[in-house]
Chains A and B, each alone.
Chain A
Amino acid sequence: MARRLQLVGGMAASRKARRIILVDDEEALAWSLASRLVKARPTDRIQTANDGERALEMVHESGVDLLIADIRMPGMSGIDLVLAVRRLYPDLPVIMMTAFKSAEVARLDWGPFTRLLEKPFEFERLRALVDEALAPEVVGFSGAISVQTLPDVVQLYALSSATGLLVVRHDDSEGHLYFANGAVLHAVTANARGDDAFYEIMMWSGGEFTMRAGTAAPERSVHTNWQELLMESMRRLDEDRRSDEPPSRAPGWTHAPPPLDDDGFDLTFSEFEPSVTLVPPAPVESTQPTEQTTEMTMNIKDSLNKLNSIDGFVGAALVDSESGMLLGQEGGGGLNLEVAAAGNTEVVRAKRKTMSNLNLKESIEDMLISLSKQYHLIRPLRSRSTLFFYVVLDRQRSNLAMARIALADVEKELQV
């Protein structure tokens, strides 16, 4: 990239001067970077600011072609600044400077046109990124910051050392998360407070959020650090995704403008359209537990009825290995699960031994025990491997192949 710039350098004079705004609350650093940039790009116009608010004023005054911002700044954070500037310049290339481990920050989806620069960095790296962003043949690497999930939003504010109140609305529920210098101090919902409230909010699958900067927490109910809180939230979300719930059709997250009162920096938000739409997780799997439960229950009922109608169906049970409960499923007619007990335990032992010898544990689709008069089919639900169906069939009246297909169908429907 740098090489390309040197070639382009000769054309610089004929090119329109580019406006670069560099924001860092460390004045010395801002100044030193800016002065070196001036040398590197003599035809461009480079301005510095030491806080987000001033930088935003500069953008309003004279426009901008490239924004270089520190993420962590007192007052308006770099992230808030970028969100605000992107309302005016959706395609603006942005370079975010961060002192955090790049893995943490890079995991966020910053959109295709934002570059992250981990501090400390060599000036040449910044210069290369600037060249890349402003190269004439490159449109720029901008785009709206898109945040996938609410945990991402929390991470953004935590990483930017935000202080304030994040108000989250989901259906009729409202949750409050208070940040102080990036730490989550207090969480509260209608039903819970502290860590539980935090997790409850993180499980919400759509709605809108507003940050009220500077609002202080009335009390402290959270003592867990935000990384742990988020890890646990992700684990819970993940667990939910692996469950058999249908994909969410929730509207995703929308950034709502805060009310027109409060302090200055929030006003900058409300001047713009609330267009930061936070896309819900990829539609593959999602977390909404309540929306389509009726439909799902119907599915399960239908599928279990399908099982009942298999030729030779004797009975079925659901085994939950997590809770340890063995639940009877009311089938059609008189359920009479009758194990031909003699030798059954031996069969199982033998099977277990063979399987462990062959190391087959992880790929069990179903297990079949053939008894003289019955088949026993055991099938873990792929979507939730701690749940099993145990189906007993009358051997003389059943078609094993059909039964397996029917059972597979039931399982498939459970993970829609």
Chain B
Amino acid sequence: MIGKASLFALAKALEGIPVLGALSGSPAARAGIRYGDVLLAVNGKRTRTVGDYVEAKALRSDGMEIVVFRTGTEKVELLTYDERAKSVDTAALLAELAALRIAPGALDPEGGGGSSMPD
């Protein structure tokens, strides 16, 4: 598993956005998107920054076509949004995030494990 620092470095080199994870059950998760991917394009537009992402996402409302970089190849996926995603239970999302450990310390060998406290 690629370390977080390496992931960010890779994303920078590829001029893409590092994917830190996919919410379970979401269109991204169903398409196999996971921690360690680098998002290169959305709806045909290059995504170099989160700003690009927000902008490219707006081009389409029923889903998004994405290009991610993984293990040396580019992968194209079509994510179709779920109807229910329109109303978001923030708290449930938060729980999901915590479970994923948005900062994937546990996944990150360079971070020294999730339970250690930084000083």
Contacts and interface: CB of A to CB of B under 8 A. Distances in A.
B118 interface: yes
Nearest to A356: B91
Interface string B57-88: 11101001010000000000001011001101
B7 interface: yes
A287 to B, nearest CB: 10
Interface residues of A, number: 64
Interface string A223-241: 0000000000001100110
Given A339-B114, A345-B95, A328 B11 contact: yes
Main secondary structure of the interface of A (DSSP, over half): mixed
Interface string B97-114: 111111111100001001
A341 B20 contact: no
A296 B85 CA distance: 25
B23 A326 contact: yes
Interface in A361-411: 361, 364, 367, 369, 372-373, 378, 380, 384-388, 390, 392
Contact of B39 (A327, A337, A344, A384): A327
A325 B63 CA distance: 13
Interface string A293-331: 100110111001000000000010111111111111110
A243 interface: yes
A9 interface: no
B97 A334 contact: no
Contacts of B39: 325, 327
Contacts of A324: 22-23, 25-29, 33, 79
Contacts of A372: 117
A182 B77 CA distance: 39
Contacts of B114: 339, 341
Given A304-B51, A386-B88, A240 B105 contact: no
Interface in A321-358: 321-330, 334-342, 344-345, 347-349, 351-352, 355-356
A155 B11 CA distance: 47
A74 interface: no
Interface in B9-65: 11-12, 17-23, 25-29, 33, 39, 49-55, 57-59, 61, 64
A63 interface: no
Contact of A322 (B5, B11, B33, B81): B81
Contacts of A348: 91, 94-95, 97-98
A414 interface: yes
Contacts of A208: none
B103 A337 contact: yes
Residue in B39, B66, B94, B100 whose Cβ sees the most chain A Cβ within 10 Å: B94
A301 B49 contact: yes
A378 B90 contact: yes
Given A339-B103, A361-B91, A323 B18 contact: no
Contacts of A337: 4, 102-105
A75 interface: no
B94 A352 contact: yes
A395 to B, nearest CB: 11
Contact of A330 (B8, B58, B66): B8
B42 to A, nearest CB: 9
Interface of B: 4-5, 7-8, 11-12, 17-23, 25-29, 33, 39, 49-55, 57-59, 61, 64, 66, 79, 81-82, 85-86, 88-95, 97-106, 111, 114-115, 117-118
28 contacts: A236-B61, A239-B61, A244-B58, A289-B59, A297-B55, A304-B49, A315-B103, A322-B85, A324-B25, A325-B22, A326-B21, A327-B17, A328-B7, A328-B17, A330-B12, A330-B18, A336-B118, A338-B103, A338-B118, A341-B101, A344-B98, A345-B95, A345-B99, A349-B95, A352-B92, A361-B90, A367-B94, A385-B88
